[in-house]
């Protein structure tokens, strides 16, 4: 029997542009060798410029989507993206609380790339009270971390505050800072562990945070440590932006399947053709 792929249960919103949200999670997980069990928390109406409107899924539906799957199959990692409402934070908390052995990786979505707010001040407080005490890794950008730790006077102090709330590790991303390079800083166990610098790319990208966090969650699901997963996923997310393209009129989309390009263009393609043909033959024989 074939071995099943490890499952990342992703609490996420739907983005009809296909750039962020659940589609970003599914594409990143597939790229990393994992699979998403999608628990939809919100429906959004948006284009590549901004979110126009969103509606949170009823909290009871969020709990039921998750619990039915958790009773049916092993889940390796919980990944949280857009949660939609304070009721959904409570609902997700109740699910995570019942599965303390499953690692929790959180992308605290506070606003869309175009600026539309996707979480209230009360929701930021609820992350600190209910989600961070159960979180292994949180991946805020600098705008998000300032909202999540309003009392802190520097980005290092903000990360410290999230670790004081209970997060084991923090990966603070630097895309929104005015630095020449993008500097991502990894903290853990109350210390700064590592800063990594990335060439700043020329465009504005939609779904980059979702790509990074779901790649980390998937690598952890595949057995990597949080620290290794964080390094590998940064490389993957950056490459997906290098290959990014403009499918609408505004923000660019990452190409999360950039890694298939060389493969499809190379001789492997004929190998695939041969394989498919021989499988077809086998299938015909069985018929
Ligand atoms: N999830 C959903 C459903 C969204 O609509 C958005 C932004 O619009 C995000 C997540 C965050 O996307 P990003 O990775 O660009 O921060």
- Paired strand residues for 42: 13, 56
Q: What confidence score (pLDDT) does residue 262 get?
A: 74
| pTM across the whole model | 0.93
Helices and strands in the chain, H and E counts: 10, 9
Long-range contacts of 256-260 (CB under 8 A, 24+ apart): 256/24, 256/27, 256/28, 256/31, 256/211, 257/27, 257/31, 259/31
Q: What confidence score (pLDDT) does residue 274 get?
A: 55
Place of tokens 């590790």: 169
Q: What confidence score (pLDDT) does residue 268 get?
A: 54
* Cα(179) to centroid(ligand 1), Å: 23
Q: Which residue lies with its CA nearest to atom 12 of ligand 1?
A: 207
Mean pLDDT of 237-253: 96
Residue boundaries of the structural domains of the chain: 7-285
pLDDT category at 217 given cuts 50, 70, 90 is very high
Q: What confidence score (pLDDT) does residue 287 get?
A: 33
Q: What confidence score (pLDDT) does residue 281 get?
A: 39
By percentage, how much of the chain surpasses pLDDT 70? 91
Mean pLDDT of 3-23: 98
Q: What confidence score (pLDDT) does residue 264 get?
A: 61
Q: Is 109 in the pocket of ligand 1 (CB under 6 A)?
A: yes
Mean residue pLDDT of the chain comes to: 92
Q: Is 6 in the pocket of ligand 1 (CB under 6 A)?
A: no
pLDDT category at 284 given cuts 50, 70, 90 is very low
Mean pLDDT of 233-254: 96
Write out the two tokens for 90: 């409570």
Q: What confidence score (pLDDT) does residue 229 get?
A: 98
Q: Which residue lies with its CA nearest to atom 8 of ligand 1?
A: 112
Q: What confidence score (pLDDT) does residue 261 get?
A: 86
Higher pLDDT: 224 or 276? It is 224
- CA atoms of 198 and 212, how far apart (whole Å): 13
Which of 52, 113, 115, 211 has most ligand 1 atoms within 8 Å of its beta carbon, as the pocket-test mutant?
Answer: 113
Q: Is 13 in the pocket of ligand 1 (CB under 6 A)?
A: yes
pLDDT category at 273 given cuts 50, 70, 90 is low
**CB of 68 closer than 8 Å to CB of 39:** no
Main-chain dihedrals φ then ψ at residue 255, nearest 5 degrees: -100, 95
**pLDDT at 276 > cutoff 70:** no
Q: Is 139 in the pocket of ligand 1 (CB under 6 A)?
A: no
Q: Is 207 in the pocket of ligand 1 (CB under 6 A)?
A: yes
- Count other C-beta atoms under 10 Å from residue 274's C-beta: 10
**The ligand 1 atom nearest the CA atom of 206:** 15
Mean pLDDT of 157-179: 96
Q: Is 208 in the pocket of ligand 1 (CB under 6 A)?
A: yes
- CA atoms of 202 and 142, how far apart (whole Å): 19
Give 95-142 pLDDT, tens digit per residue. Answer: 999 999 999 999 999 988 888 999 999 999 999 999 999 999 999 999
Give 44-101 pLDDT, tens digit per residue. Answer: 999 999 999 999 999 999 999 999 999 999 999 999 999 999 999 999 999 999 999 9
Main-chain dihedrals φ then ψ at residue 76, nearest 5 degrees: -85, -35
* Cα(8) to centroid(ligand 1), Å: 18
Mean pLDDT of 33-44: 98
Domain 7-285 fold: 3.40.1190
- Paired strand residues for 198: 182
Of 203, 190, 287, 212, nearest to 253 by C-alpha is 203
Residue 132 carries which DSSP code? G
Mean pLDDT of 19-43: 98
- CA atoms of 104 and 194, how far apart (whole Å): 21
Q: Is 110 in the pocket of ligand 1 (CB under 6 A)?
A: no
Residue 56's H or E segment, with its range, is strand 51-56
């Amino acid at each position: 029997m074939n071995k099943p792929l490890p499952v990342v249960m992703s609490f996420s919103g739907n983005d009809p542009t296909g750039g962020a949200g659940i589609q970003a999670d599914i594409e990143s997980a597939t790229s990393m060798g994992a699979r998403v069990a999608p628990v939809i928390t919100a429906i959004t109406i948006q284009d590549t410029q901004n979110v126009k409107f969103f509606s949170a899924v009823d909290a009871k539906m969020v709990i039921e989507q998750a619990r039915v799957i958790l009773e049916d199959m092993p889940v390796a990692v919980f990944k949280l993206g857009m949660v939609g409402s304070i009721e959904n934070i409570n609902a997700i908390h109740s699910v995570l609380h019942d599965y303390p052995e499953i690692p929790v990786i959180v992308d605290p979505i506070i606003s869309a790339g175009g600026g539309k707010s996707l979480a209230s001040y009360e929701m930021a407080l609820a992350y600190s009270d209910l989600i961070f005490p159960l979180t292994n890794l949180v991946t805020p950008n600098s705008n998000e971390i300032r909202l999540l730790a309003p009392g802190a006077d520097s980005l290092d102090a903000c990360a410290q505050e999230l670790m004081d709330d209970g997060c084991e590790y923090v990966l603070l991303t630097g895309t929104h800072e005015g630095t020449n390079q993008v500097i991502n800083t990894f903290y853990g166990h109350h210390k700064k562990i590592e800063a990594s610098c990335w060439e700043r790319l020329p465009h504005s990208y939609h779904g980059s945070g979702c790509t990074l966090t779901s790649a980390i969650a998937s690598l952890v699901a595949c057995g990597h440590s949080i620290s290794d997963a964080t390094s590998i996923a940064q490389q993957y997310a950056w490459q997906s932006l290098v290959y990014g393209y403009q499918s609408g009129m505004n923000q660019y989309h990452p190409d999360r399947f950039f890694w298939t390009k060389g493969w499809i263009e190379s001789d492997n393609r004929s190998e695939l053709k041969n394989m498919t043909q021989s499988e077809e033959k086998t299938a015909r024989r069985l018929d």
